[in-house]
């Protein structure tokens, strides 16, 4: 079945992709996708991009005026989603509103579209968002993707993915064991050095003192 964008009112812009905006990459990193808006008319067309998940998506430019027979490339960046957001990623949508801008208009396109949001002259197109991961091995699974829905601004997303945390714990335990072994070897080396020094001191120190006493008696 061919997917089609959800569109209201006559088409003012050619929008690519037409129905689905796909992000490809590692979900523990910021990923970017592109939307191209093409104005094939002889009129100026203003647009504004809205989303139902503003905490996830960063759009630039979010609104602009496209000159006749010109196009605009929009960059959409998605923040690292947690596991629940990634699982339900297709529930997120971007809506592109567009309207004809009169030549004499001096109002900001952002305010102009907001003021005319319910106007029959507004064209609305919704794009479904999709995420395609690009892991090449199990070791590349991100620690940042978790079941925690909180975003504390520090980049931390809570616990690791199920099944991967055990490997991390084993690795950390092996590091602790190695550190403990190295510390024991260092202590052993210090003890050996001290014993050797004491043996040297008592052996040669006693001999020197004995020789000195013999010379005094002579």
The answer on 172 and 133 residing in a single domain is no
Q: Please check whether residues 133 and 195 belong to one and the same domain.
A: no
With respect to residue 56, please indicate whether it lies within any of the assigned structural domains: yes
Query: How many structural domains is the chain composed of?
Result: 2
Q: Are residues 50 and 110 in the same domain?
A: yes
107 found inside a domain: yes
Tell whether 23 and 120 lie within a shared domain.
yes
Same domain? 117 vs 194: no
pLDDT of residue 60: 95
156 found inside a domain: no
d(CA 211, CA 34): 92
Q: 187 and 93 in one domain?
A: no
Q: Which residues pair with 73 in a beta bridge?
A: 36
Residue segments in the chain with a per-residue pLDDT below the cut of 50? 1-4, 137-141, 143-165, 168
**Whether residue 185 sits in one domain with residue 122:** no
Q: What is the predicted pLDDT for the residue at 172?
A: 56
Antiparallel, parallel or unpaired: β 20-25 and 123-133 = parallel
Residue 160: predicted pLDDT: 37
Closest to 5 measured CA to CA, from 106, 129, 88, 134: 129
CA gap 101, 42 in Å, rounded: 11
- Indicate if 136 and 60 belong to the same structural domain: yes
Q: What is the pLDDT of residue 7?
A: 55
Q: Which of 140, 173, 208 is the last residue of a domain?
A: 140
pLDDT at 10: 60
pTM for the complete prediction?
0.58
Inside any domain, residue 48: yes
Residue carrying the six token digits 């040297």: 200
pLDDT of residue 31: 95
Structure tokens at 175: 């590091």
Q: Which of 105, 140, 175 is the last residue of a domain?
A: 140
Query: Same structural domain for residues 36 and 107?
Result: yes
151 in any annotated domain: no
Question: What range defines the domain where residue 198 resides?
Answer: 163-218
152 is a domain residue: no
Is 168 found in the same domain as 95? Answer: no
CA dihedral 186, 191, 195, 201 (to 10 degrees): 70
Q: How far apart are CA 129 and CA 88, in angstroms?
A: 10
pLDDT of 103 reads 86
For residues 77 and 180, membership in a common domain is answered with: no
Looking at the fold, whether 177 and 103 belong to one and the same domain comes out as no
């Amino acid at each position: 079945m061919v997917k089609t964008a959800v569109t209201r009112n006559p088409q003012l812009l050619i929008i690519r992709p037409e129905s689905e905006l796909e992000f490809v990459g590692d979900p523990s990193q910021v990923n970017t996708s592109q939307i191209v808006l093409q104005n094939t008319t002889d009129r100026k067309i203003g647009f504004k991009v809205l989303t139902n998940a503003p905490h996830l998506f960063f759009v630039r430019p979010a609104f602009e005026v496209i000159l006749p027979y010109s196009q605009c490339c929009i960059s959409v960046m998605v923040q690292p989603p947690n596991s629940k957001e990634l699982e339900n990623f297709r529930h997120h949508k971007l809506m592109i509103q567009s309207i004809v801008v009169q030549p004499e208009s001096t109002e900001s396109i952002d305010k102009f579209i907001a003021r005319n949001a319910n106007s029959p002259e507004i064209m609305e197109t919704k794009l479904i968002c999709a995420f395609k991961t690009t892991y090449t091995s199990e070791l590349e699974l991100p620690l940042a993707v978790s079941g925690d829905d909180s975003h504390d601004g520090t980049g931390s997303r809570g616990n690791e993915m199920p099944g991967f945390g055990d490997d991390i714990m084993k690795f950390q335990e092996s590091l602790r064991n190695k550190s403990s072994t190295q510390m024991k070897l260092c202590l052993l080396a210090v003890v050996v050095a001290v014993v050797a020094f004491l043996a040297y001191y008592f052996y040669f120190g006693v001999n020197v003192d004995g020789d000195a006493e013999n010379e005094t008696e002579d």
